[in-house]
Amino acid sequence: MKTLFITIISYILIFFNSNLLSDENNNTLKIGLLAPFSGEYKDLGESLLYSLQLALSEINDKKVFVIPRDSGSNNKEKLIRAVEEIRSEGANIIIGPINNNDFNEVKRFNDLIFISPSNINPDFQNNIISIGISFESQISSLMRFLKKNEKKKTVILLPNNQYTKLIENKLKKLQLKNYRIFKYNPDPKVLTGEIEILTNYSQRKKNLELRKKIFEDKDDEQSKREIEKLEQKYTLGDVNFDSVIIIDFGNSLKSVLASLVFSDVSQEKVLFTTLNQWFDESIFYENTIKSLYYPSVNYKEFKKYKENYFKIFNNFPSEITILTYDAIGLIYYVWKKNGKINSVNDFSFKGRVKGKIGTFSFDNKRIIQDLDIYKAEKNKFIKF
């Protein structure tokens, strides 16, 4: 793997230099890549470079080449040096940085354009465009889905952590309707009790016991049948919402789902939805959940991308690499359309662009992704 990695870097650099020397005056598209080729995230850097090599081979335009440089892992000095080296090679557009914490460092290079896979903010930020799957695009897609399914009482379940205020501010800016926020403690020992409060579990449990008492001393057939039906229930009465959006992932998401099921929330009446899913198959083993809906990139294209990547590099890519793959396509599209790229304003155009992750467009210097809705059900991902 290491030998292949060095070979690819060498190929790109030799390809770049030979083309530059042979035809210096030709109109060429030079794209920088900031990736962590050293430090704790060097495997990610390697995966990013492979994804760009795959994109270059599919574009198949000898006037397009990449200038990769090591931005290190949480190393500001190395990051700045990498940017300066890329600029000195004549590139004015760079894929990266990966981490939005580095944005303040690269904003000083106002003569350069940065296309970042970060999803922290869909708005253009000075000279930075973030093409990650944004919270805003995911929430907007889910709200359209819930409206289509005539859901009018949505609870957004939000863990109480360092990101809570950020998410609340984002929700306010979206000016959504028919929702309320319920913040919960991510500690599983506390979580279940809080979900019981949300679902009015204790009262619905009492409702069931009171209903049973009405019929338990009667001997007529109708009362006996009613008692049999009640014995199959855990609670009586509906919750005061018809859909939930759980802003969580991994084991914490599974804990919330389990608590909702334990609190006897009807999955026939309440739609369970979430965010930030990359087709995590471990959700299949959460046997209590019949179906879980979420917005995501195009599954068919994502699967095809992973298969092509594995076929060439004998390894599966990091999920973020499909974003940098699409970044090459986006940059190439704008370059071919305009004949050059001078500033972030060149990306603020009308129309939609289709990439591997799906279709996206730009509106008022904001990137908007049109995401598909998928359902995890019976060990399959089904496009809704």
- Whether residues 128 and 163 share a domain: the answer is no
pLDDT tens-place string over residues 307-341: 999 999 999 998 889 999 999 999 999 999 888 99
- Whether residues 251 and 333 share a domain: the answer is no
**What domain range includes position 285?**
135-199+239-296
Region 10-19: what's the mean pLDDT?
A: 42
128 pLDDT more than 90: yes
- Whether residues 83 and 148 share a domain: the answer is no
Element (H, E) at 204: helix 201-216
357 pLDDT more than 80: no
- Of the two residues 4 and 308, the one the predictor is more confident about is 308
- Total count of domains within the chain: 2
- Whether residues 267 and 139 share a domain: the answer is yes
pLDDT at 217: 78
- Whether residues 39 and 148 share a domain: the answer is no
- Whether residues 245 and 181 share a domain: the answer is yes
Region 137-141: what's the mean pLDDT?
A: 92
Region 101-117: what's the mean pLDDT?
A: 94
Count CB neighbours of 240 within 10 A.
11
pLDDT at 120: 86
- One-letter amino acid at 310 equals F
pLDDT at 35: 94
pLDDT at 23: 41
285 pLDDT more than 70: no
70 part of a folded domain: yes
Region 356-381: what's the mean pLDDT?
A: 83
Q: How do beta strands 93-95 and 64-70 pair?
A: unpaired
SS3 label, residue 227: helix
68 pLDDT more than 60: yes
Tell which of 296, 313, 339 closes a domain. 296
213 part of a folded domain: no
145 pLDDT more than 70: yes
Q: What is the CATH number of the domain that holds 166?
A: 3.40.50.2300
SS3 label, residue 232: coil
Query: Checking phi first, is residue 178 left (phi over 0); if not, alpha (psi -120 to 50) or beta?
Result: left
Exposure letters 197-208 (e unless 16+ CB within 10 A, then b): ebbbbeebbeeb
99 part of a folded domain: yes
Tell which of 257, 278, 296 closes a domain. 296
Q: How confident is the model at residue 10 (pLDDT cuts 50, 70, 90)?
A: very low
Bridge partner residues of 295 (DSSP): 373
For residue 367, give Cα distances in angstroms to 325, 349, 356.
17, 10, 16
- Whether residues 291 and 303 share a domain: the answer is no
310 part of a folded domain: yes
Residue 356 has which token pair? 């591997």
Of 81-90, 209-218, 281-290, least confident by mean pLDDT is 281-290
pLDDT at 243: 97
218 part of a folded domain: no
pLDDT at 284: 63
- Whether residues 33 and 162 share a domain: the answer is no
- Whether residues 45 and 87 share a domain: the answer is yes
290 pLDDT more than 60: yes
Cis peptide before 97 (omega within 30 of 0): yes
Taking the C-alpha atoms of residue 344 and residue 114, their distance in angstroms, rounded to an integer, is: 9
Residue 104 has which token pair? 């303040």
pLDDT at 17: 43
32 part of a folded domain: yes
279 pLDDT more than 80: no
Q: How do beta strands 243-246 and 179-184 pair?
A: unpaired
Tell which of 259, 280, 296 closes a domain. 296
Region 339-365: what's the mean pLDDT?
A: 84
CB 159 within 8 A of CB 248: yes
- Whether residues 104 and 41 share a domain: the answer is yes
CB 383 within 8 A of CB 374: yes
260 pLDDT more than 90: yes
- Whether residues 314 and 348 share a domain: the answer is yes
Residue 348 has which token pair? 């603020």
CB 305 within 8 A of CB 298: no
Q: How confident is the model at residue 26 (pLDDT cuts 50, 70, 90)?
A: low
- Whether residues 192 and 78 share a domain: the answer is no
pLDDT at 229: 86
pLDDT at 157: 97
pLDDT at 139: 94
2 pLDDT more than 90: no
Residue 327 has which token pair? 């970044």
220 pLDDT more than 90: no
90 part of a folded domain: yes
Region 36-55: what's the mean pLDDT?
A: 92
Query: Checking phi first, is residue 220 left (phi over 0); if not, alpha (psi -120 to 50) or beta?
Result: beta
- Rounded to a whole number, what is the largest CA-CA distance in the chain? 98
Count CB neighbours of 21 within 10 A.
8
9 part of a folded domain: yes
Region 229-247: what's the mean pLDDT?
A: 91
Give the position of tokens 């279940």.
192
- Of the two residues 331 and 218, the one the predictor is more confident about is 331
